[in-house]
């Protein structure tokens, strides 16, 4: 899958949320397993249900604060550990959990952690991994893992969506 096609599957506001995550201030890195656990609890377990995702985000243990609402329907929430972006659009539903991780984190670590939940990825490079499937009706279910360096910090995000 081309880089352009991959990026087209992830809404621009969610990629912007990746950059706006907790990395704006120096914060200690989170274990990558904790980022995946948060994504599972918030995004994966409530795939396609932004109301349920929002309920999880605002309850313990996350108790996130709403920091921004974008024109496309993306709402960004922050905790002291994670940034969460939830998109509620009639045609697509996406959710992403982002955190600062160890700067030595590599894409293979994210794949290895997610493999028991998601199986083998369909596409991967040094910054982006994609798992997806199409239903009989043509709906696309997508899970992603992204890594992005911001200065001397590394951001990691797990995402899930329906299109």
Per-residue pLDDT band at 133 (split at 50, 70, 90):
confident
Question: Which whole-number Å values give the CA distances from 7 to 71, 104, 138, in the listed order?
Answer: 19, 24, 19
Per-residue pLDDT band at 4 (split at 50, 70, 90):
very low
Q: Which pTM value belongs to this model? A: 0.85
Using DSSP, state whether 125 is helix, strand or coil: coil
Say if CB 144 and CB 131 are below 8 A apart. Answer: yes
Per-residue pLDDT band at 2 (split at 50, 70, 90):
very low
| Residue 6 Cα to chain centre, angstroms | 14
Asked if residue 116 has pLDDT above 90, the reply is: yes
Distance CA 156, CA 146 (A): 6
Using DSSP, state whether 57 is helix, strand or coil: helix
Phi, then psi, of 73 in degrees rounded to 5: 100, 0
pLDDT in tens, 80-90: 999 999 998 88
pLDDT in tens, 47-63: 989 999 999 999 999 99
Distance CA 51, CA 70 (A): 17
């Amino acid at each position: 899958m081309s880089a352009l096609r991959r990026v087209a599957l992830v809404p621009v506001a969610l990629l912007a949320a990746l950059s706006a995550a907790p990395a704006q201030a120096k914060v200690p890195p989170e274990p990558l397993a904790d980022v995946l656990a948060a994504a599972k609890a918030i995004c994966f377990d409530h795939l396609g249900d932004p109301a349920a995702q929002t309920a999880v985000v605002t309850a313990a243990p996350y108790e996130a604060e709403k920091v921004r609402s974008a024109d496309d329907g993306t709402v960004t929430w922050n905790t002291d550990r994670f940034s969460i972006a939830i998109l509620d659009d009639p045609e697509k539903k996406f959710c992403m959990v982002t955190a600062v991780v160890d700067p030595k984190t590599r894409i293979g670590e994210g794949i290895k952690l997610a493999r028991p939940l998601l199986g083998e990825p369909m596409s991967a490079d040094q910054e982006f991994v994609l798992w997806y499937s199409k239903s009989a009706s043509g709906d696309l279910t997508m899970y992603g893992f992204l890594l992005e360096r911001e200065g001397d910090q590394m951001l990691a995000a797990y995402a899930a969506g329906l299109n």
